[in-house]
Amino acid sequence: MPEWHAEKVLCDTRWDGSIPVQLTPILQYYGLEWHFVKMRQHGVIITLGKRPIIFLNEDLPMTASRFRAAHELGHWILHSSRIGSNCPFSIGDEYEANRFAAALLCPKALFTEALQELQDGNVNFYDIASRFNVGKAVIVNCAEEIAGV
């Protein structure tokens, strides 16, 4: 379960429980380097020798680049044996990396609280997206995943 791995990452990296989740200390914990470059894709993870490096598209808005960095971290955590191999990521791998990223950026307990506020009509989707610093689509996906709404 990608969500289980995301929770384990938050735990292992001593996430302080605040949102938006800060990715810098998490990427550093796993020894991941990242660089913003001009590129066609949103992001990619490669290994140079044993060193994992994430390249992110410098033209992406902050929310998208956060999601993409978390997605590439998901590949590192879940599919590291395939990075730099001749076996490219499958569609299933991409789906798992997306679920990992969503769960990492929208930790379940806080997200469930936010959904309750949404249900009570106190906040809207945009408020929640800005609270977690993710795109609105991520919020919708997380809501489907967690609450089945």
Closest CB to Zn ion among residues 3, 94 = 94
Closest CB to Zn ion among residues 21, 97 = 97
Q: How far is the CB of 63 from Zn ion (least distance, A)?
A: 17
Closest CB to Zn ion among residues 49, 88 = 88
Cα dihedral 38→41→43→48 (10° resolution): -80
Q: How far is CA 31 from CA 48, 51, 70, 102, 149, in A?
A: 12, 8, 14, 21, 37
| Residues at the site binding Zn ion, with contacts judged by CB under 5 A | 94, 97
Give yes or no for a contact between 84 and 43, defined as CB atoms under 8 angstroms apart: no
Q: How far is the CB of 89 from Zn ion (least distance, A)?
A: 5
Q: How far is the CB of 74 from Zn ion (least distance, A)?
A: 8
Give yes or no for a contact between 32 and 48, defined as CB atoms under 8 angstroms apart: no
